[in-house]
């Protein structure tokens, strides 16, 4: 059966409903927190990764809005940009804010991004797949339309209490996590770079 635009929309709506259920009660199935990870590819700058805890939830409309942890809190959103210089690649970490409007399916990132990127980035999502990784539930989306004409992939993760430390102990600025394949793999020199980032550990 051919996949229609209406069918795709229905799958996306169902996935957003699931995220709303997680947000309203992230203890479902032994959950501990809700995580996000984003990979961006496209002009006018190189790819970047962003990640963080988006457990904070504001009910509104049909579903509500997920938001990143406030600055200074464990799991506050961070974006990582590669800056090549000399013999060592350095990852520049840029604090950012994150929100995911589950009513409209739009994701918003804001920060002092380098490489001539706008300070505010927004994209709509389409559902791609749902999968379980070692007891951690994930929903994967790709961007439909973006404010900067780039392509995005976002993974939303319900971290189980028993798996939380294992799954989120490594940020993409330290060593490639399970979802690093969504973006460009980190080179060994990048993994060895002297970069320090807060570890995302429960509460997330």
Map residue 52 onto helix, strand or coil.
strand
pLDDT at 135: 72
pLDDT at 133: 77
User: Is pTM beyond 0.85 here?
Assistant: no
Tokens of 179: 């979802």
Whether the Cβ atoms of residue 185 and residue 47 lie closer than 8 Å to each other: no
How many helices (H) and strands (E) are present in the chain, helices listed first? 3, 10
Strand bridging mode 88-101 / 120-133: unpaired
pLDDT at 115: 83
**Interval 99-117: pLDDT, tens:** 999 999 999 999 999 888 9
**Interval 49-58: pLDDT, tens:** 999 999 999 9
Q: Is the pLDDT of residue 63 over 50?
A: yes
**Interval 158-201: pLDDT, tens:** 987 544 433 443 444 544 343 333 433 333 333 333 334 444 44
């Amino acid at each position: 059966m051919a996949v229609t635009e209406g069918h795709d929309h229905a799958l996306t709506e169902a996935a957003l409903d699931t995220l709303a259920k997680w947000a309203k009660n992230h203890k479902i199935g032994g959950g501990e927190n809700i995580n996000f990870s984003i990979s961006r590819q496209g002009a006018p700058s190189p790819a970047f990764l962003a990640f963080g805890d988006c457990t904070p939830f504001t009910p509104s409309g049909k579903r509500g809005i997920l938001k990143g942890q406030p600055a200074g809190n464990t799991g506050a959103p961070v974006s990582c940009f590669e800056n090549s210089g000399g013999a060592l690649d350095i990852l520049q970490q840029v604090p950012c804010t994150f929100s995911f409007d589950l009513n409209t399916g739009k994701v918003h990132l804001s920060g002092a991004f380098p490489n001539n990127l706008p300070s505010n980035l927004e994209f709509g999502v389409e559902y791609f797949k749902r999968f379980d990784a070692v007891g951690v539930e994930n929903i994967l989306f790709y961007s439909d339309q973006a404010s900067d004409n780039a392509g995005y992939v976002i993974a939303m993760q319900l971290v189980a209490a028993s798996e939380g430390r294992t799954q989120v102990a490594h940020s993409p600025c330290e060593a490639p996590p399970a979802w690093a394949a969504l973006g460009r793999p980190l080179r060994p020199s990048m993994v060895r770079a002297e970069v320090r980032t807060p570890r995302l550990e429960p509460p997330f």
